[in-house]
Amino acid sequence: MAITKAQLFNKRQIRAAEFAKAIAHPARIAILQILATSNACYCGDITEELPLAQSTVSQHLKALKSAGIIKGEIEGVRTCYCFDEENLAEFKTVMEAMIKEFSIPNPTCC
Amino acid sequence: MAITKAQLFNKRQIRAAEFAKAIAHPARIAILQILATSNACYCGDITEELPLAQSTVSQHLKALKSAGIIKGEIEGVRTCYCFDEENLAEFKTVMEAMIKEFSIPNPTCC
DNA sequence: AGAATAAATCGTAAAATTACGATATACGAT
DNA sequence: ATCGTATATCGTAATTTTACGATTTATTCT
């Protein structure tokens, strides 16, 4: 983009956007669902359940980890991915706060 | 991107990702907060409250409208933007369902 | 009809995202 | 030490996003 003005928004807005961006792709939602509902937690197992290449899944996992939604525990040659419960709580708080905020009916307009 | 495989994910995943993408930018979250808490609802008024050009705000409004989170009612020379309550309910449902889904502790791993 | 105003769209450029295959890295087993 | 396996990273290409100013469109007012 021509100019980046993200720094002109507040931290809450930036964090919420970050979380939203993390789940702004069907593949990442699918990965999170796999983590939540199946017992797959290795990149390889997750890749098997998805129509994507291993490198692509690894990339998506990295994105989820960067946002803090998941964490990766190295287990020898592989990495076990699972939800980062602490940050997941923050995710919930941020998202629910936003949902709540948007639900305030504005009486002055429309 | 080289190949698009979005069609290989299910509708719920795609819809959730769409909603998430809509709020995946601080400016769009700020716009929604302005809509929710101030009585600004015209592109011009919203632009005044943000460090962005009118055309940029208009673009963000379009993205929010495309996702269905807001709607625009033409009022003569201007357009009054407000939440699309029906879709906002869907947004809430989808997001809350996802949050809930991710909260199921996986007993088999990590 | 013409001027003023608000919003949308166009054109453009920079950056980010997404995907893949190929390669590198890291670890366990032999 | 070497081999095999799992994951991460690199390199690349296509697409999308983001931003801006300039222009167009649409409507109201004079």
- Is residue B44 within 8 Å of residue B82, measured between CB atoms? no
From chain B residues 10-29, the ones with a CB under 8 A of any chain A CB are 10, 13-14, 16-17, 20-21, 23-29
Q: How close is the nearest chain A Cα to the Cα of B58, in Å?
A: 16
Q: Which residue has the higher pLDDT, B55 or A103?
A: B55
pLDDT at B45: 96
Residues 6+ apart with CB under 8 A from A50: A27, A30, A31, A34, A57
Angle B11-22/B54-67 helices, nearest 10 degrees?
160
Model confidence at B2, pLDDT cuts 50, 70, 90, reads low
State yes or no: pLDDT of B98 exceeds 70.
yes
Residues 6+ apart with CB under 8 A from B81: A110, B35, B41, B42, B43, B46, B61, B64, B65, B70, B71, B72, B73
pLDDT at A60: 98
Flag residues of chain A having pLDDT under 50: 6
Inform me whether the C-beta atom of residue A65 falls under 8 Å from chain B C-beta atoms: no
State yes or no: pLDDT of B19 exceeds 90.
yes
Model confidence at B109, pLDDT cuts 50, 70, 90, reads low
- List, in order of start, the domains of chain B with CATH numbers: 12-97 (1.10.10.10)
Model confidence at B52, pLDDT cuts 50, 70, 90, reads very high
State yes or no: pLDDT of B4 exceeds 70.
no
* Strand D closer than 7 A to residue B54 Cβ: yes
Which of chain B's residues have a Cβ under 8 Å away from the Cβ of A63?
A: none
* Strand C closer than 7 A to residue A54 Cβ: yes
Q: Residue B72 gets which letter from DSSP? A: E
pLDDT at B91: 96
State yes or no: pLDDT of B108 exceeds 70.
no
pLDDT at B6: 47
pLDDT at A8: 79
pLDDT at A51: 95
Spacing of C-alpha B58 from chain mean position: 14
